[in-house]
Chains A and B, each alone.
Chain A
Amino acid sequence: MKTITQPKAVAAAETRPRTANGGWKRFWNNRTLMLMCAPAVIFFAIFAYLPMPGLYLAFIRYNYTDGIFKSAFVGWDNFRFLVMTGDLWRLTFNTIAYNLAFIILGNCLQIFVAILLNELRKKWFKKVAQTVMFLPFFISFVIVGLIAYNILSYDYGLLNGILESLGMDPVKTYSNPHVWPFIIIITFLWQSTGYGSIVYFAAIMGLDSEVVEASEIDGANALQRIRYIVLPWLKPTFIILLLFSLGGVLRGNFGLIYNLVGANNTVLYSTTDIIETYVFRSMFNNFNFSMGSAVSLYQSVFGFIVVITANWLVKKASPDNSLF
């Protein structure tokens, strides 16, 4: 059946554009498909493209009563201010450092978990473990924040409860900036490892079982199998995912940090303030819309350069996987 209908269909698809006279006819033929895309095009035009010119705010001293067009134009002053106060450097450093930790530690732990999952034999154990590890992905950041509070709260937290029962002094986590990088990274790993390991686990499933069997007949043990077969097999997936996520290295995880640290915990800013939280604060605490926009513009332009570079690297590593 299929062998009869398919060539006909393909032939039809190929001859139609050729017989049509010119681009307009082809354009007209696609009108329904274009209409089908129209809602999405309008959606992104409004919610993603329309705000872009708004970055002009970065070059003015915006005040609400004058509006965008009557506020004073100040050129690069906002950026100069950000550089001089050192804010820009701190925000960039924090955002990139957190993301690098998330990406590198995250991917390594995900691969580790996926490989170990694959070594397990008991089906029910695997299933239950996967389900439980995936669970944290399904809760909102508000709950994540609440859970952290549950563990770290000075008065009631589980951590201090344990420390006290061991005869140690309670710790004041919410006023000690040095521990927060660890807390934030651990929480991130807690929430994303189950989710992320799925990709790697699926990749391992794609491994040819004959290769694995052959290696075992040749006497390779589990470690050797992992080292010489599984890891090299995962390498392309790893590199692609790594480069993709590197493209977003300047985009901070606002939800995570905002809910963990709280809205106004100034003591912790030195180690927890990222671009997104700064923009948020400059808007809602200081009503300085222009400063927020300046940071956003810097983030978008710098981030764009990073993505282009990352994509260029992907293209070199594996042309099929490049984004554009």
Chain B
Amino acid sequence: MQGEVVRKSIRSDATSLFVRGFGYAFIGLFSFCCLIPFLLVLGTSFTKESEIVKHGFNLWPKVFSTFAYKIVFENPGLIIGSYAVTVGITVVGTVLGLFLVAMTGYALQRPDFQQRNTISFFIYFTTLFSGGLVPFYLLIKQYLGLGDNYLAVLLPGLMSPFLIIMMKSFTKSIPHAITESAKIDGAGDFTIFVRLILPMATPALATIGLFIALGYWNEWYNAMLFLSADMKYRPLQLFLYGVITSADFIKNSSASSNVPLRDVPLESMKMATAIVATGPVILFYPFVQRYFIQGITVGAVKG
């Protein structure tokens, strides 16, 4: 703190001022570029379709219209169903995944756990070598029989070596003496983990939980692979992908909302669906940002 005050008072030569000025300009411009696309999607979603056809996508809706949202919610069953599926998978997956990652991460950093290096390597090796898409697909679909089953999305997202390593580094900062003295008092390893470590590791749990939750919310890959169009309710991102790419959806919504096919606001509807699908993430994001920053900083320095 004090250092900054000193620095500020000392350096005001031309070069330093130029660097600072350039910094404001560049960072400002870059931030602007990061934000613009979001505003573009938002603006388009509120633009009247005929205006888009005439003048293209625009940041600011020249002719304001909420028609696209009306159509999206005209047949709310589909999108609410998608929401429910995504929220369900995210909640169950995050709670379960977080518990498992925390438990594994804690056990693997215990210095008195002999097999920790073997198990760590067993987990880490999966980032070095993989069977690739084809065997994975056959395993899930044919051998586990999870085609058109939400478990095909839920299960593979539970854990990742990256998160387990992050948890290891986090729990390492909890003194081992706490574990040791609890053991002397006769507590078992699992009790120590649940009663002592978990409450002390709340910031770490928040970070890792948020990483898992974000992963599930944005999941579309496994969903695309394993959940076919036969399913009525598909996760939100896949639903959005469908709206963007398939004409079927447009036809359906035309039929269900009694709007003639040529009047369906195709373009603005894509944007409106995108807004509905990302809305929660963008709204939550400023409040949870710091947890992600914590995680990235810890995760980058391997534990």
Contact = CB atoms under 8 A, between A and B. Distances in A.
A6 B37 contact: no
B37 A30 contact: no
B98 interface: no
Interface string A201-232: 01000000110110011000111101000000
A33 B40 contact: no
B119 interface: yes
B126 A296 contact: no
Main secondary structure of the interface of A (DSSP, over half): helix
Given A41-B119, A161-B55, A293 B20 contact: no
A54 interface: yes
A51 B130 contact: yes
A73 interface: no
B250 interface: no
B245 A292 contact: no
* Size range of the chain B interface in the assembly: 35 or more
B41 interface: yes
A91 to B, nearest CB: 13
A33 B116 CA distance: 9
A292 B218 CA distance: 26
Contacts of B129: 52, 300, 303-304
Interface stretch (A82-90, A99-107, A128-136, A171-179): A128-136
A13 B300 contact: no
A289 B37 contact: no
Contacts of A193: 30
B8 to A, nearest CB: 6
A195 interface: yes
A32 B110 CA distance: 12
Given A39-B104, A40-B164, A133 B31 contact: yes
A8 B180 CA distance: 9
Interface stretch (B21-29, B73-81, B256-264): B21-29
Contacts of A10: 177, 180
Interface string A276-287: 100110010000
A41 B123 CA distance: 7
Contact of A48 (B113, B130, B183): B130
Contact of B31 (A30, A122, A132): A132
B285 A135 contact: yes
A157 interface: yes
Contacts of A262: 245
A116 B128 contact: no
A166 interface: no
Interface in A278-324: 279-280, 283, 289, 292-293, 295-297, 299-300, 303-304, 307, 321, 323-324
Contacts of A6: 177
B122 A41 contact: yes
A217 to B, nearest CB: 7
Nearest to A57: B134
B270 interface: yes
A120 B13 CA distance: 15
Contacts of A16: 112
B164 A52 contact: no
A150 B41 contact: yes
A110 to B, nearest CB: 11
A222 B35 contact: no
B106 A36 contact: yes
A263 interface: yes
Interface string A179-204: 00000000000100111001100100
A12 B132 contact: no
Contact of A119 (B20, B123, B131, B158): B20
Contacts of A222: 11, 15-16, 18-20
B38 interface: yes
A252 to B, nearest CB: 11
A44 B6 CA distance: 53
Contact of B300 (A40, A138, A199, A221): A199
A160 interface: yes
B133 A276 contact: yes
Nearest to A56: B135
Contact of B133 (A142, A158, A283): A283
A217 B155 CA distance: 58
A40 B123 contact: yes
B301 to A, nearest CB: 8
A199 B124 contact: no
Contact of A54 (B33, B53, B135): B135
Interface stretch (B63-71, B87-95, B185-193, B201-209): B185-193
A129 B289 CA distance: 13
B244 interface: yes
Contact of B270 (A13, A50, A146): A146
Given A112-B26, A116-B26, A157-B57, 4 more contacts: A131-B286, A135-B285, A150-B37, A223-B15
12 contacts: A12-B180, A40-B123, A43-B158, A46-B139, A50-B139, A55-B132, A116-B22, A151-B37, A217-B10, A222-B20, A223-B19, A323-B124
Interface of A: 2, 5-6, 8-10, 12-13, 16-17, 26-27, 30, 32-37, 39-41, 43-44, 46-55, 57, 112-113, 116-117, 119-122, 125, 128-129, 131-136, 138-143, 145-147, 149-151, 153, 155-158, 160-161, 190, 193-195, 198-199, 202, 209-210, 212-213, 216-217, 221-224, 226, 237, 241, 254-255, 262-263, 276, 279-280, 283, 289, 292-293, 295-297, 299-300, 303-304, 307, 321, 323-324
